[in-house]
Amino acid sequence: MKVCIMGQGYIGLPTAALFSTSHCQVVGVDISEEIINNLNSGIIHIEEPGISDIIKNAIEKKRYKASLIPEKADAFIITVPTPYIAENYFCDLSYVITACETIIPYLEKGNVVIIESTIAPMSTDEIIKPIFEKAGFTIGKDLYLAHCPERVLPGRILEELVHNDRIIGGITPECSVKASEVYGQFVEGELMLTEAKTAELSKCMENTFRDVNIALANELAKICAEIGVNALDVIKMANKHPRVNLHSPGPGVGGHCLAIDPYFIYAKAPETAKIIKLARDTNNSMPDFVCEYVKKIIPSGKIAVFGVSYKGNSDDDRESPAFEIIDKLCNNYEVAIYDPHINNPNFVSFDEAIKKANLILVLCDHDEFKHLDFNLIKESMENAVIFDTKNIIKEIPNDIKLYNYGNLYTL
C-alpha cells in the first residue's frame, strides 16, 4: 500500500513512521521546505521517543520520503492544523480545505481519503465531501471518505497510535470499511466503525471532557485561595472516594486539542453548550490568576520561568498558557526563560535563569524540574523562592520558600 500524508507535524510524522514500519510506501507532504529538506536528511523537527530511528531506517529502505507536493497513492491522510476563529469560535477549516484541493489532481478511483485533523461536527458531510463531489467523484463508490481522529499523548504517540482504539467515521458504511483497512496496516487497538459526524463529535467531546474536569480543579484552586483552604489536600482527600478523580490544577490549558476543540462544539450550539464555554473561560483565566499571585509573592525583580511546553517532557508549546503569563510578567519584571526541551535562542540555561533571580516560576512538569539543585538555587538566587503552578516539587529544604496551589491562601 502507498500512503500520502498531508502534514508532517506532531501527528502526520509519527503516522508516516508507523506506516513505513508496516512495509507501506509513504510520502510525507508539508508546505515547509526546511522541514522537507531536514526530513529527507534524517533530521527530525519534533521531540518524540523512537521516531528519529524509524524515519532514518525508512529513508534507508526507501519506504519514506518527504515532499512539497503529493503523489498518487492508495490512501491520502490529512493531518493539518485546525485552529479556531477567535471572533466566533468556529473551526477554521482553511488548511484542511487546501489540503483536500491539493490532492485532487492525484486522486484515482478506488482511493481512500481520511481526515485525521480534529474538525467540528458535520464538517466532513457539509464541507469536505462536496469538494470531492465537485471534482467528479461519487463518495462511497469510487472514492472513500472518512474522518478518523487521532487520540494520542505527546511522549507516547508511537505507542498509542498502535495500541489505542481507533474511531473510523465513514461518510458511508463502505467508506468506514475501506478506511479501517488502511489503519489495519499497523493499528492493534479496536477499529470502531461509525459515521463521520459521530466520529467528529466523539473526538471533540473527549477533549471537552478533559477540559471541563481541569476547569473544575482550577476553579477549586481559586476558591481555596480565596477562603483559606489547602486545595491540594482537598483533592487528595476527595480522590480517596472510590468514584471521584479530581484533576490537578495548573497555570491553564494548552495544546492543539483541549484548548481548541471544545470551541468547535460551542460554536455549533452556543445557547446550549454553556458548561463547555464556562470551562473554557475558567481555564483561560488561569494565566491572570498566576500573575496575580506572582505579584503577591514578589512585587518586582527577576523571575526565572521554568518551562513553556504545554506538556511535560515534550517540546510541544502549541497554545501553551506559559506564553500569555510571560507576556503579562514582562510588563513589570525581568524574565529569564529556561526550557530544556525547547531550542530557542531567546531561552537561557538553568544557571543563567536563576542567577540573581527573586523567584522561580514553574509552568511545566518536565522531569528536570521535579528534582532541582537546591544548593545552586540558594547560592545563585537573590531570594530562594519557588512558585510551582504544576504542583510537582514534593520535597524542599526548609530555607527555600515554596508556594503551590496548596498554600496560596497564606499570601
What are the pLDDT digits (tens) for 49-65? 999 999 999 999 999 99
Question: Mean per-residue pLDDT for 289-317?
Answer: 96
Find how far residue 257's CA is from the centre of its chain. Answer: 5
96: number of Cβ within 10 Å: 27
Whether the per-residue pLDDT at 305 is higher than 90: the answer is yes
For the domain bounded by 2-195, which CATH number is listed? 3.40.50.720
Q: Which residues are catalytic?
A: 203, 257
Q: Over range 389-404, report the average pLDDT.
A: 96
Write down the pLDDT at residue 316.
92
Amino acid at 148: C
Average pLDDT over the chain reads 97
In this structure, whether the domain defined by 286-410 belongs to CATH 3.40.50.720 is answered with yes
Find cell 502534514 and name the residue: 7
Walk across the sheet containing 75-78 and list its strands.
64-67, 25-29, 2-6, 75-78, 111-115, 143-147, 166-170, 191-195
**Structure confidence by residue, pLDDT tens digits, 12-42:** 999 999 999 999 999 999 999 999 999 999 9
pLDDT surpassing 90 at residue 67: yes
3-state SS record for the chain: CEEEEECCCCCHHHHHHHHHHCCCEEEEECCCHHHHHHHHCCCCCCCCCCHHHHHHHHHHCCCEEEECCCCCCCEEEECCCCCECCCCCCECCHHHHHHHHHHHHHCCCCEEEEECCCCCCCHHHHHHHHHHHHCCCCECCCEEEEECCCCCCCCCHHHHHHHCCEEEEECCHHHHHHHHHHHCCCCCCCEEEEEHHHHHHHHHHHHHHHHHHHHHHHHHHHHHHHHCCCHHHHHHHHCCCCCCCCCCCCCCCCCCCCCCHHHHHHHHCCCCCHHHHHHHHHHHCHHHHHHHHHHHHCCCCEEEEECCCCCCCCCCCCCCHHHHHHHHHCCCCEEEEECCCCCCCCCCCHHHHHCCCCEEEECCCCHHHCCCCHHHHHHHCCCCEEEECCCCCCCCCCCCEEECCCCHHHC
Please return the burial class of 161, using the count of CB atoms within 10 Å of its CB with bins 0-12, 13-18 and 19+: buried
pLDDT tens sequence across 128-186: 999 999 999 999 999 999 999 998 988 899 999 999 999 999 999 999 999 999 999 99
State the pLDDT at residue 291: 98
pLDDT at residue number 151: 87
Query: Quick check: 121 pLDDT over 90?
Result: yes
Residue-level pLDDT at 330: 97
If one counts every other C-beta atom within 10 angstroms of the C-beta of residue 41, the result is: 10
Residues of the chain above pLDDT 70, percent:
100
The cell for 405 is 496551589
Q: What is the pLDDT of residue 154?
A: 84
Q: Global pTM?
A: 0.93
Note the Cα 35 to chain centre separation in Å: 20
Q: How far is CA 147 from CA 79, 104, 127, 390, in A?
A: 11, 17, 12, 35
Same fold, 2-195 and 286-410: yes
- pLDDT one-digit tens code per residue, 370-390: 999 999 999 999 999 999 999
pLDDT at 327: 98
What residues does each domain of the chain span? 2-195, 286-410
Mean pLDDT throughout 365-369? 97
CA 200 from chain centre, in angstroms, equals: 17
